[in-house]
Every structure is written in structure tokens, then in C-alpha cells.
């Protein structure tokens, strides 16, 4: 018996959300799967929000029509509610770094339609102080897994926050965009990686899109040819 099989007898695989016994590792039990709000069907091509419709043609949500997004395409794994929200918060604040692997797997599947050969995968950066206190960037862990599965280059320090921006929570949309304006730059050592590249930005949550917009604008200002985005959770206004 191999080591993995022996370990499985002692520690049967658990649902990554609730700990219930499941058949395969790094997965969800049936109940958590149903409570996660995975996005399927027709989605906004810029942010991944689910939309009514039959999937014919390219669709955009109201937010992405109202706000010019400085990126080309986007996808999201699940809505930011129920188990999806719980897992994002666990990954971000509760040292649940083990969630990065299944999250990366789901993101690989959700972002499938927009993945392209030669993309450079880059996480939305934390300010160094937050990285220091939290010890890891949850988006970088997910981005690393996605890049590995997709066979794409991962550049975890492509972008840096040049000043702390505090929490976006409690700010309205204008406040969110204003708070992030000019706060993110391409790392001076990584400018060569960006020039002419198609950058795939990875973040855990998209609310207004202000953070992703600031990152995309920084990439374009540094000479990126194209930018797309992939997020774990999309906040829906009525979710
Ligand atoms: Zn479960
Ligand atoms: Zn949208």
C-alpha cells in the first residue's frame, strides 16, 4: 500500500468547506456544492456575473455597461454569498491556505473560455504591511495553482501597492475607485514581463471592480498589450 492510500485510511478525504467525509480529496460535499452558488450558463463577458439568456453572443452586465472596464474579458467562479463567501473569508483571514488548491482548480475551469496561450498570470497585490501581518497573499496562492494547471507563467510580484489603501468596505463606488487611483504600479523589476503581454489578473473578490481596474490600468500604463481578469467570487448586488 502506498503512503497516500495508507494516509487515506487514517484521514479520509474531507469536504474543504465543512469537513464532512467525501469521496475525493480537495472537493466539496454535495450539500456545500449546492450552497456555493457556482456560476453556470450565460455570464457577463467582462466580470463573470450570471445573466439571463441562452448564451448566444457576448453579453455584458449593467455594471460593465455603465463603467468602462480597462480589461477585455473576465470570469468568476461563484457568487460572493453562502459557502462561497465563507470559503473566501477563510482563505483570506483564517489561514485556510489549503483552500487555494480547490479554488485554483475551480478558477481554471471558470476561466477556461478566456484563457490564452502566453498569458502572464498575476495576482492583485497586498500592501507589504498587510502581507507582513497576514503572511500570505491569498490571491497569489490561487493564481499560482491556476497558472500551473493552465501551463501559464505566474508572476506573483508583477504588481505592487505603492501606498496602503485600507479597506474598501464601507466605501461607495466613487470612494472605491478614488481610493485606489494611482495606488498600484507594475514592479520596476517586472516591466519587461508586462511589455506587450496579455496579463491575466487574479483576485479573490470583485465588488465594484475598482481594484482590478487600478491593476489593469497599471499594466496598460507599463506597456501591457491586453488585460483579462479572473476572480473567485463576484459580488452581486441582489445576492
Ligand atoms: Zn461540505
Ligand atoms: Zn459585468
User: Phi-psi region for residue 51, left (φ > 0), alpha (ψ -120 to 50) or beta?
Assistant: beta
> Which ligand minimizes its atom distance to the CA of 27?
1
- How far, in Å, is the centroid of ligand 2 from the Cα of 180? 19
Rounded CA Rg of the chain: 18
pLDDT on residue 211 = 93
pLDDT on residue 55 = 64
- How far, in Å, is the centroid of ligand 2 from the Cα of 78? 14
- How far, in Å, is the centroid of ligand 1 from the Cα of 14? 8
pLDDT on residue 189 = 95
Q: pTM above the 0.85 mark?
A: yes
> Which ligand minimizes its atom distance to the CA of 206?
2
pLDDT on residue 1 = 62
Can you list the domains of the chain with their CATH numbers? 76-234 (3.40.50.2020)
pLDDT on residue 9 = 66
Contact 104, 112 (CB under 8 A): no
> Which ligand minimizes its atom distance to the CA of 87?
1
What are the residue ranges in the chain where pLDDT is below 50? 239
pLDDT on residue 171 = 82
- The DSSP code sequence of 42-107 is SBBTTT--B-SS-S-S-B--HHHHHS--SSS-EEEEEESSHHHHHHHHHHHHS--GGGHHHHHHHH
Three-state DSSP state, 121:
strand
Cross-strand bridge partners of residue 121: 154, 200
* Sign of the four-CA dihedral 211, 212, 214, 218: positive
pLDDT on residue 239 = 47
Amino acid at each position: 500500500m502506498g503512503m497516500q492510500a495508507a494516509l487515506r485510511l487514517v484521514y479520509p478525504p474531507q469536504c474543504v468547506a465543512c469537513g464532512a467525509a467525501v469521496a475525493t480529496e480537495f472537493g466539496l460535499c454535495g450539500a456545500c456544492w449546492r450552497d456555493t452558488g457556482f456560476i453556470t450558463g450565460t455570464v457577463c463577458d467582462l466580470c463573470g456575473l450570471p445573466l439571463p439568456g441562452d448564451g448566444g453572443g457576448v453579453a455584458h452586465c449593467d455594471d460593465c455597461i455603465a463603467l468602462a472596464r480597462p480589461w477585455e474579458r473576465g470570469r468568476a467562479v461563484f457568487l460572493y454569498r453562502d459557502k462561497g463567501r465563507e470559503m473566501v473569508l477563510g482563505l483570506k483571514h483564517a489561514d485556510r491556505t489549503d483552500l487555494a488548491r480547490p479554488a485554483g482548480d475551480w478558477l481554471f475551469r471558470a476561466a477556461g473560455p478566456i484563457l490564452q496561450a502566453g498569458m502572464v498570470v498575476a495576482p492583485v497585490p497586498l500592501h507589504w504591511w498587510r502581507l507582513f501581518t497576514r503572511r500570505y497573499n491569498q490571491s497569489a496562492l490561487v493564481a499560482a495553482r491556476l497558472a500551473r494547471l493552465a501551463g501559464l507563467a505566474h508572476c506573483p510580484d508583477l504588481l505592487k501597492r505603492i501606498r496602503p489603501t485600507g479597506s474598501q468596505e464601507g466605501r461607495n463606488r466613487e470612494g472605491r475607485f478614488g481610493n485606489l487611483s494611482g495606488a498600484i504600479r507594475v514592479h520596476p523589476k517586472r516591466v519587461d514581463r508586462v511589455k506587450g503581454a496579455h496579463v491575466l489578473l487574479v483576485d479573490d473578490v470583485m465588488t465594484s471592480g475598482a481594484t482590478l481596474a487600478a491593476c489593469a490600468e497599471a499594466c496598460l500604463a507599463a506597456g501591457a498589450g491586453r488585460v483579462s481578469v479572473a476572480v473567485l467570487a463576484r459580488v452581486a448586488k441582489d445576492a
